[in-house]
Amino acid sequence: MLIRKAVIPAAGFGTRFLPFTKSVPKELAVLVDKPVIQYVVEEAAACGITDILMIVSSGKEAIARHFNPDFELESRLESSGKAELLRQLREISSLARIHYVYQHELDGLGGALRCAEEFIGDEPFAVLLGDTVCSGTRPVLAELLEVFQATASSVVALERVPEEKVSRYGVVGGSAAEGLKSNALKLDELVEKPEKENAPSNLAIASRYVFTPGIFGALSAVGRGKNNEVQLTDAMKLLLKSEAMYGVEIEGKRHDIGDKLSFLCNTVEFALKRPEFRDDLIKFLKGKLENC
Ligand code: UTP
């Protein structure tokens, strides 16, 4: 079964990135010249997603403005002969059909997903966190969709993290999955923020998911958990009791821009990938480092 719908949660407060996020959604933070959430939508579109539901909150209307066409600006670019910019702009609004729903109470990632139930209905769907870009030779979501096609079960992206950092993540346990690539696991355990000693592995859940609609029943059953929020991991744990679930250790890399330092590091990393900036940026950075 082909998956055509995706949900992008983008309603959060972004407290780790204050004061910037007081009036600007962190999902619009820019990596070189593109907002983070545009990279996310591009990843979804590259994987055949045609309809995206963005979960937003009051004050985050600029996200919709970024994806809606701006005919006045387009005609200005057209009349001034800026054809390449015009092409880029038109491409943004043609990536996918984007729909919006407000999460009125910010009760966590699980709460955000509950807002998508009506839009998704009774079919499997993808989830891509709006503040995390994935890079690599192949879109991470494509790796997950491949496992979904083979198993018809929920699939989560996994990233290996240093053992001393497992307590920051949702961590999985599992075993090799028969008939699937060696980077896929059949999951038998999910633990939110475990101590290093109790962690089933150092494979952390990494911001891309494919869910069967069974996740909605699990989300309503678990209700609010830690921090009085609906915890997605709690719902996934419950779903794992009744349905198989798989994980895929991603080949690409995850870039979370939700905190200030990782945003800064990712900005440099993405700029270094751009041929038009690379040499001058290296010169600049070397100059700075000499004085450190
Ligand atoms: P985070 O876990 O980074 O939470 O959300 P946050 O609230 O945005 O940021 P901090 O921790 O306060 O700094 C991961 C993604 O899930 C969305 C966020 O917008 C982000 O894209 N999210 C989070 C929601 O849509 N709703 C929520 O209630 C929480």
Percentages (nearest 5) of helix, strand, coil residues in the chain: 45, 25, 30
Q: Specify the residue with its C-alpha closest to ligand 1, atom 5.
A: 12
Ligand 1 centre and the CA of 49: distance in Å?
22
222-244 mean pLDDT: 94
Q: How confident is the model at residue 163 (pLDDT cuts 50, 70, 90)?
A: very high
What number of H helices and E strands is found in the chain?
11, 13
Q: Which residues contact 290 (CB under 8 A, 6 or more apart)?
A: none
Angle between helices 275-290 and 260-272 (to 10 degrees): 120
Ligand 1: residue whose CA is nearest its atom 7? 12
Give the number of the atom of ligand 1 that is nearest the alpha carbon of residue 130. 21
Q: Helices 232-242 and 214-222: crossing angle, nearest 10°?
A: 120
Residues with CB under 6 Å of ligand 1 are 9-17, 27, 55, 103, 106-109, 111-112, 129-131, 258
**Average pLDDT in the 84-88 region?**
95
Atom 22, ligand 1: which residue's CA is nearest? 12
**pLDDT > 70 in the chain, percent:** 100
Q: Among 233, 49, 69, which residue's Cα sits nearest to residue 128?
A: 49
Q: Is the pLDDT of residue 7 over 90?
A: yes
Distance of CA 52 to the CA centre of its chain: 13
Q: Are 230 and 139 in contact (CB under 8 A)?
A: no
Rounded to a whole number, what is the largest CA-CA distance in the chain?
Answer: 64
Q: Which of 18, 128, 129, 256 to mutate to test the pocket of ligand 1 (most atoms within 8 A of CB)?
A: 129
Tens digit of each residue's pLDDT (9 = 90 or more) over 70-83: 999 999 999 999 99
Probe ligand 1: pick from 16, 43, 58, max atoms within 8 Å of CB? 16
pLDDT average, residue stretch 167-178: 92
pLDDT digits (tens, 9 = 90+) for 257-280: 989 999 999 999 999 999 999 999
